[in-house]
Structure 1
Amino acid sequence: MEKILIVEDEVELALNIKEIVENFGYEVVGIYSEANSVLAYLDSFKVDLILMDIQIQGNIDGIDLCYKIKDRTNIPIIFLTAYSDQSYLDRISNLVYDGYLLKPFKVESLKTAVYLALKSKPYAISQKDLGKLSLKIRDKGYVVPIPLGDILYLKADGLYTKVFTSAKSYIVRDILKDLQSQLPEELFIRPHKSYLVNIEKISSFNSKELKVSGAIIPIRRGYFKILSEMNQ
Protein backbone atom coordinates (compact mmCIF):
# COMPACT_ATOMS: atom_id res chain seq x y z
CA MET A 1 0.00 0.00 0.00
CA GLU A 2 1.44 3.40 -1.01
CA LYS A 3 2.33 5.73 1.86
CA ILE A 4 1.28 9.38 1.72
CA LEU A 5 2.41 12.27 3.93
CA ILE A 6 0.16 15.32 4.37
CA VAL A 7 1.67 18.75 5.07
CA GLU A 8 -1.19 21.05 6.12
CA ASP A 9 -1.56 23.51 9.02
CA GLU A 10 -5.38 23.52 9.13
CA VAL A 11 -6.17 20.53 11.33
CA GLU A 12 -9.76 20.00 10.23
CA LEU A 13 -8.84 20.21 6.56
CA ALA A 14 -5.87 17.87 7.04
CA LEU A 15 -8.10 15.26 8.68
CA ASN A 16 -10.62 15.62 5.88
CA ILE A 17 -7.91 15.07 3.26
CA LYS A 18 -6.65 12.07 5.24
CA GLU A 19 -10.10 10.49 5.21
CA ILE A 20 -10.50 11.08 1.47
CA VAL A 21 -7.06 9.68 0.63
CA GLU A 22 -7.60 6.61 2.79
CA ASN A 23 -10.91 6.02 1.00
CA PHE A 24 -8.86 5.90 -2.21
CA GLY A 25 -7.01 2.91 -0.71
CA TYR A 26 -3.76 4.62 0.33
CA GLU A 27 -2.09 4.83 3.76
CA VAL A 28 -1.59 8.26 5.36
CA VAL A 29 1.55 7.87 7.48
CA GLY A 30 1.52 11.32 9.06
CA ILE A 31 0.17 14.86 9.14
CA TYR A 32 2.59 17.73 9.81
CA SER A 33 2.10 21.49 9.93
CA GLU A 34 5.68 22.77 9.69
CA ALA A 35 8.87 22.04 7.75
CA ASN A 36 11.27 20.78 10.42
CA SER A 37 9.00 17.92 11.46
CA VAL A 38 8.60 16.88 7.83
CA LEU A 39 12.36 16.89 7.21
CA ALA A 40 12.97 14.92 10.43
CA TYR A 41 10.45 12.30 9.33
CA LEU A 42 11.96 12.00 5.86
CA ASP A 43 15.43 11.58 7.34
CA SER A 44 14.32 8.19 8.58
CA PHE A 45 11.28 7.01 6.66
CA LYS A 46 10.30 6.57 3.07
CA VAL A 47 7.00 7.85 1.67
CA ASP A 48 5.60 7.49 -1.82
CA LEU A 49 3.91 10.88 -2.13
CA ILE A 50 3.57 14.21 -0.30
CA LEU A 51 0.46 16.41 -0.39
CA MET A 52 1.88 19.86 0.29
CA ASP A 53 0.12 23.05 1.37
CA ILE A 54 2.02 26.25 0.51
CA GLN A 55 1.09 28.27 3.60
CA ILE A 56 2.30 26.26 6.60
CA GLN A 57 3.55 27.11 10.08
CA GLY A 58 7.09 28.32 10.69
CA ASN A 59 9.63 30.31 8.68
CA ILE A 60 9.77 27.82 5.81
CA ASP A 61 6.73 27.67 3.55
CA GLY A 62 5.65 24.72 1.43
CA ILE A 63 7.53 25.88 -1.66
CA ASP A 64 10.87 26.24 0.12
CA LEU A 65 10.22 22.94 1.89
CA CYS A 66 9.69 21.32 -1.49
CA TYR A 67 13.10 22.62 -2.64
CA LYS A 68 14.72 21.12 0.46
CA ILE A 69 13.02 17.77 -0.06
CA LYS A 70 13.98 17.60 -3.72
CA ASP A 71 17.62 18.21 -2.74
CA ARG A 72 17.46 14.94 -0.77
CA THR A 73 15.14 12.64 -2.66
CA ASN A 74 12.80 12.41 -5.62
CA ILE A 75 9.51 11.95 -3.76
CA PRO A 76 6.52 13.05 -5.87
CA ILE A 77 4.86 16.20 -4.47
CA ILE A 78 1.41 17.63 -5.16
CA PHE A 79 0.68 21.19 -4.06
CA LEU A 80 -2.74 21.76 -2.50
CA THR A 81 -3.27 25.50 -2.10
CA ALA A 82 -5.79 28.30 -2.11
CA TYR A 83 -3.23 30.58 -3.80
CA SER A 84 -2.71 31.08 -7.53
CA ASP A 85 -0.81 34.38 -7.40
CA GLN A 86 1.84 34.90 -10.06
CA SER A 87 4.47 35.24 -7.31
CA TYR A 88 3.79 31.68 -6.15
CA LEU A 89 3.77 30.34 -9.69
CA ASP A 90 7.11 32.04 -10.40
CA ARG A 91 8.67 30.45 -7.32
CA ILE A 92 7.62 26.93 -8.23
CA SER A 93 8.31 27.25 -11.95
CA ASN A 94 11.80 25.72 -11.57
CA LEU A 95 10.62 22.95 -9.24
CA VAL A 96 10.03 19.35 -10.20
CA TYR A 97 6.56 18.70 -8.79
CA ASP A 98 3.73 16.41 -9.75
CA GLY A 99 0.53 18.41 -9.37
CA TYR A 100 -1.00 21.73 -8.37
CA LEU A 101 -4.59 21.71 -7.11
CA LEU A 102 -6.43 24.84 -6.07
CA LYS A 103 -8.63 24.70 -2.96
CA PRO A 104 -11.44 23.92 -2.83
CA PHE A 105 -10.77 20.97 -5.12
CA LYS A 106 -13.05 18.16 -6.20
CA VAL A 107 -12.51 14.69 -4.79
CA GLU A 108 -12.13 13.23 -8.28
CA SER A 109 -9.48 15.84 -9.15
CA LEU A 110 -7.47 14.82 -6.08
CA LYS A 111 -7.92 11.13 -6.87
CA THR A 112 -6.63 11.63 -10.41
CA ALA A 113 -3.67 13.77 -9.32
CA VAL A 114 -2.61 11.23 -6.67
CA TYR A 115 -2.93 8.31 -9.07
CA LEU A 116 -0.87 9.97 -11.79
CA ALA A 117 1.82 11.15 -9.35
CA LEU A 118 2.23 7.66 -7.90
CA LYS A 119 2.38 6.12 -11.37
CA SER A 120 5.35 8.35 -12.17
CA LYS A 121 7.34 7.64 -8.99
CA PRO A 122 10.70 5.84 -9.24
CA TYR A 123 10.77 2.07 -8.87
CA ALA A 124 10.96 1.04 -5.22
CA ILE A 125 13.02 -1.88 -3.92
CA SER A 126 10.87 -4.86 -3.02
CA GLN A 127 11.19 -6.70 0.28
CA LYS A 128 12.39 -9.75 -1.66
CA ASP A 129 15.20 -7.73 -3.26
CA LEU A 130 16.15 -6.17 0.09
CA GLY A 131 17.07 -9.61 1.38
CA LYS A 132 19.59 -10.05 -1.42
CA LEU A 133 21.41 -6.74 -0.94
CA SER A 134 24.68 -6.16 0.87
CA LEU A 135 26.91 -3.29 1.95
CA LYS A 136 30.40 -3.68 0.46
CA ILE A 137 33.19 -2.40 2.69
CA ARG A 138 36.98 -2.71 2.78
CA ASP A 139 38.48 -4.64 5.68
CA LYS A 140 42.25 -5.28 5.88
CA GLY A 141 42.67 -4.88 2.14
CA TYR A 142 39.71 -7.06 1.18
CA VAL A 143 36.26 -6.13 -0.07
CA VAL A 144 33.72 -7.63 2.32
CA PRO A 145 30.01 -7.79 1.33
CA ILE A 146 27.91 -7.57 4.50
CA PRO A 147 24.29 -8.71 4.05
CA LEU A 148 22.00 -5.88 5.08
CA GLY A 149 20.07 -8.24 7.32
CA ASP A 150 23.22 -8.82 9.39
CA ILE A 151 23.80 -5.12 10.13
CA LEU A 152 22.56 -3.93 13.52
CA TYR A 153 23.51 -0.27 13.28
CA LEU A 154 26.17 2.17 12.07
CA LYS A 155 27.82 4.84 14.20
CA ALA A 156 29.66 7.96 13.02
CA ASP A 157 33.23 8.29 14.28
CA GLY A 158 34.73 11.46 12.85
CA LEU A 159 35.73 10.78 9.24
CA TYR A 160 35.10 7.07 9.79
CA THR A 161 32.03 4.95 10.49
CA LYS A 162 31.72 1.87 12.68
CA VAL A 163 29.50 -0.85 11.27
CA PHE A 164 28.10 -3.22 13.89
CA THR A 165 26.81 -6.66 12.94
CA SER A 166 25.65 -9.57 15.06
CA ALA A 167 29.04 -11.26 14.57
CA LYS A 168 31.61 -8.42 14.66
CA SER A 169 32.21 -4.74 14.00
CA TYR A 170 34.09 -2.97 11.21
CA ILE A 171 35.66 0.46 10.85
CA VAL A 172 34.98 1.99 7.44
CA ARG A 173 36.82 4.96 5.95
CA ASP A 174 33.61 6.71 4.92
CA ILE A 175 31.42 9.25 6.70
CA LEU A 176 27.98 8.13 7.84
CA LYS A 177 26.17 10.28 5.27
CA ASP A 178 27.95 8.56 2.38
CA LEU A 179 27.08 5.11 3.71
CA GLN A 180 23.48 6.18 4.27
CA SER A 181 23.19 6.96 0.54
CA GLN A 182 24.12 3.31 -0.17
CA LEU A 183 21.47 1.86 2.14
CA PRO A 184 17.74 1.51 1.41
CA GLU A 185 15.44 3.91 3.24
CA GLU A 186 12.99 1.05 3.69
CA LEU A 187 15.36 -0.71 6.09
CA PHE A 188 17.57 1.91 7.77
CA ILE A 189 16.49 4.90 9.81
CA ARG A 190 18.51 7.76 11.31
CA PRO A 191 17.10 8.43 14.79
CA HIS A 192 20.17 10.49 15.76
CA LYS A 193 22.71 12.38 13.66
CA SER A 194 25.44 9.91 14.66
CA TYR A 195 23.52 6.67 14.07
CA LEU A 196 21.88 4.62 11.33
CA VAL A 197 19.77 1.74 12.63
CA ASN A 198 18.34 -1.36 11.02
CA ILE A 199 14.59 -1.07 11.69
CA GLU A 200 14.21 -4.83 12.02
CA LYS A 201 16.80 -4.98 14.83
CA ILE A 202 15.07 -2.54 17.22
CA SER A 203 13.94 -4.45 20.31
CA SER A 204 12.43 -1.53 22.28
CA PHE A 205 12.39 2.27 22.54
CA ASN A 206 11.19 5.16 24.69
CA SER A 207 11.24 8.95 24.40
CA LYS A 208 15.02 9.16 24.88
CA GLU A 209 16.60 6.02 23.42
CA LEU A 210 16.15 2.76 21.58
CA LYS A 211 17.76 -0.65 22.07
CA VAL A 212 19.40 -2.80 19.42
CA SER A 213 20.91 -6.13 20.51
CA GLY A 214 21.89 -4.76 23.92
CA ALA A 215 23.23 -1.46 22.59
CA ILE A 216 21.49 1.74 23.73
CA ILE A 217 21.17 4.38 21.02
CA PRO A 218 19.96 7.94 21.73
CA ILE A 219 17.12 9.41 19.69
CA ARG A 220 16.75 13.05 18.80
CA ARG A 221 14.01 15.27 20.14
CA GLY A 222 10.62 14.56 18.60
CA TYR A 223 11.69 11.22 17.14
CA PHE A 224 9.67 9.16 19.64
CA LYS A 225 6.47 10.20 17.83
CA ILE A 226 7.90 9.00 14.51
CA LEU A 227 8.90 5.63 16.00
CA SER A 228 5.49 5.25 17.60
CA GLU A 229 3.69 5.93 14.31
CA MET A 230 5.98 3.47 12.53
CA ASN A 231 5.01 0.72 14.98
CA GLN A 232 1.24 1.28 14.88
Structure 2
Amino acid sequence: MIAPLKVFFLEDDQQMAELLDLRLKQMGYHVCGKANNVEAAVSSIQECKPDIALIDIELQGQNDGLAIGDYLLNNTDIPFVYMTGHDEAKILEMARRTVPDGYLLKPFDDRQLRVAVEMAMRRG
Protein backbone atom coordinates (compact mmCIF):
# COMPACT_ATOMS: atom_id res chain seq x y z
CA MET A 1 0.00 0.00 0.00
CA ILE A 2 1.23 3.49 -0.86
CA ALA A 3 1.68 5.80 2.11
CA PRO A 4 -0.56 8.88 2.09
CA LEU A 5 0.95 12.23 1.14
CA LYS A 6 2.39 14.12 4.09
CA VAL A 7 0.91 17.61 4.11
CA PHE A 8 2.01 20.62 6.13
CA PHE A 9 -0.07 23.77 6.29
CA LEU A 10 0.40 27.32 7.54
CA GLU A 11 -2.87 29.02 8.52
CA ASP A 12 -3.37 31.67 11.21
CA ASP A 13 -7.18 31.55 11.34
CA GLN A 14 -8.00 28.88 13.95
CA GLN A 15 -11.38 28.00 12.47
CA MET A 16 -9.95 27.70 8.96
CA ALA A 17 -7.04 25.62 10.29
CA GLU A 18 -9.39 23.15 11.99
CA LEU A 19 -11.52 22.87 8.86
CA LEU A 20 -8.47 22.42 6.62
CA ASP A 21 -7.07 19.74 8.94
CA LEU A 22 -10.37 17.85 8.84
CA ARG A 23 -10.77 18.21 5.07
CA LEU A 24 -7.24 17.02 4.31
CA LYS A 25 -7.62 13.97 6.58
CA GLN A 26 -10.99 13.11 5.01
CA MET A 27 -9.27 13.16 1.61
CA GLY A 28 -6.79 10.58 2.84
CA TYR A 29 -3.79 12.86 3.35
CA HIS A 30 -1.58 12.72 6.45
CA VAL A 31 -1.29 16.14 8.12
CA CYS A 32 2.27 15.90 9.42
CA GLY A 33 2.49 19.45 10.67
CA LYS A 34 0.75 22.78 10.93
CA ALA A 35 1.61 26.24 12.16
CA ASN A 36 0.10 29.69 12.53
CA ASN A 37 3.26 31.81 12.21
CA VAL A 38 6.51 31.90 10.25
CA GLU A 39 8.85 30.71 13.01
CA ALA A 40 6.67 27.72 13.91
CA ALA A 41 6.27 26.92 10.21
CA VAL A 42 10.02 26.65 9.56
CA SER A 43 10.47 24.46 12.63
CA SER A 44 7.56 22.19 11.73
CA ILE A 45 8.65 21.86 8.09
CA GLN A 46 12.16 20.87 9.17
CA GLU A 47 10.74 18.33 11.62
CA CYS A 48 8.00 16.66 9.57
CA LYS A 49 9.58 16.91 6.09
CA PRO A 50 6.25 17.11 4.23
CA ASP A 51 5.62 16.00 0.67
CA ILE A 52 3.75 19.28 0.07
CA ALA A 53 3.03 22.51 1.94
CA LEU A 54 -0.09 24.67 1.84
CA ILE A 55 0.76 28.25 2.76
CA ASP A 56 -1.59 31.06 3.75
CA ILE A 57 -0.06 34.27 2.40
CA GLU A 58 -1.59 36.70 4.89
CA LEU A 59 -0.75 36.10 8.54
CA GLN A 60 -2.00 38.60 11.13
CA GLY A 61 -2.58 41.17 8.39
CA GLN A 62 0.92 40.86 6.89
CA ASN A 63 2.08 38.94 3.80
CA ASP A 64 4.42 36.82 5.95
CA GLY A 65 3.45 33.58 4.25
CA LEU A 66 5.52 34.71 1.28
CA ALA A 67 8.61 34.34 3.49
CA ILE A 68 7.79 30.64 3.88
CA GLY A 69 7.37 30.31 0.13
CA ASP A 70 10.78 31.90 -0.29
CA TYR A 71 12.23 29.58 2.37
CA LEU A 72 10.78 26.50 0.65
CA LEU A 73 12.03 27.63 -2.77
CA ASN A 74 15.57 28.32 -1.60
CA ASN A 75 16.10 25.62 1.04
CA THR A 76 13.99 22.59 0.09
CA ASP A 77 12.51 20.74 -2.86
CA ILE A 78 9.06 20.67 -1.23
CA PRO A 79 6.29 21.79 -3.59
CA PHE A 80 3.93 24.38 -2.13
CA VAL A 81 0.58 25.95 -2.87
CA TYR A 82 -0.49 29.36 -1.65
CA MET A 83 -3.95 29.74 -0.11
CA THR A 84 -5.27 33.28 0.02
CA GLY A 85 -8.26 35.52 -0.37
CA HIS A 86 -6.19 37.99 -2.39
CA ASP A 87 -5.93 38.22 -6.14
CA GLU A 88 -4.52 41.74 -6.39
CA ALA A 89 -1.79 42.21 -8.99
CA LYS A 90 0.81 43.31 -6.41
CA ILE A 91 0.32 40.21 -4.23
CA LEU A 92 0.23 37.93 -7.27
CA GLU A 93 3.54 39.37 -8.46
CA MET A 94 5.16 38.95 -5.02
CA ALA A 95 3.87 35.37 -4.87
CA ARG A 96 5.04 34.61 -8.41
CA ARG A 97 8.62 35.50 -7.44
CA THR A 98 8.68 32.56 -5.01
CA VAL A 99 7.67 30.14 -7.81
CA PRO A 100 4.73 28.39 -6.10
CA ASP A 101 3.33 25.15 -7.47
CA GLY A 102 -0.21 26.45 -7.15
CA TYR A 103 -2.42 29.27 -5.93
CA LEU A 104 -5.80 28.61 -4.29
CA LEU A 105 -8.22 31.49 -3.83
CA LYS A 106 -10.26 31.31 -0.63
CA PRO A 107 -12.89 30.18 -0.17
CA PHE A 108 -12.15 26.91 -1.97
CA ASP A 109 -13.99 23.62 -1.96
CA ASP A 110 -12.67 20.09 -1.47
CA ARG A 111 -12.42 19.48 -5.21
CA GLN A 112 -10.29 22.57 -5.75
CA LEU A 113 -8.10 21.63 -2.79
CA ARG A 114 -7.55 18.07 -4.00
CA VAL A 115 -6.73 19.21 -7.56
CA ALA A 116 -4.26 21.83 -6.30
CA VAL A 117 -2.47 19.27 -4.12
CA GLU A 118 -2.37 16.56 -6.78
CA MET A 119 -1.22 18.91 -9.55
CA ALA A 120 1.55 20.35 -7.37
CA MET A 121 2.83 16.82 -6.77
CA ARG A 122 3.22 16.19 -10.53
CA ARG A 123 6.29 18.40 -10.87
CA GLY A 124 9.74 16.93 -11.28
Q: What is the TM-score of this pair, normalised by structure 2?
A: 0.88
For residues 115-130 of structure 1, the aligned pairs below 5 Å read: 115-120=118-123
Letter in 2 for 1:80: M
1:43 aligns with 2:46: yes
Letter in 1 for 2:32: V
1:101 aligns with 2:104: yes
Could you say what the CA RMSD is over the residues aligned between the two structures, in angstroms?
A: 1.8
Shift in Å, 1:74: 1.4
**C-alpha distance in structure 1 between counterparts of 2:74 and 2:49, whole Å:** 15
Aligned structure 1 segments of 4 or more residues deviating by more than 2 angstroms: 41-45, 57-60
For residues 68-147 of structure 1, the aligned pairs below 5 Å read: 68-120=71-123
Shift in Å, 1:41: 2.2
**C-alpha distance in structure 2 between counterparts of 1:44 and 1:111, whole Å:** 24
The residue aligned with 1:2 is: 5
Q: What is the TM-score of this pair, normalised by structure 1?
A: 0.49
Alpha-carbon displacement from aligned partner over 1:75-94 (angstroms, at most 9, x marks no partner): 11111101111110111222
Shift in Å, 1:5: 0.5
Name the one with the larger strand percent. Answer: 1
Q: Which has the higher contact order (CA 8 A, sep 6+)?
A: 2
Name the one with the larger helix percent. Answer: 2
Letter in 2 for 1:64: A
Residue 88 to residue 60, structure 1, CA distance change in 2 (3 Å): closer
**Larger radius of gyration between Structure 1 and Structure 2:** 1
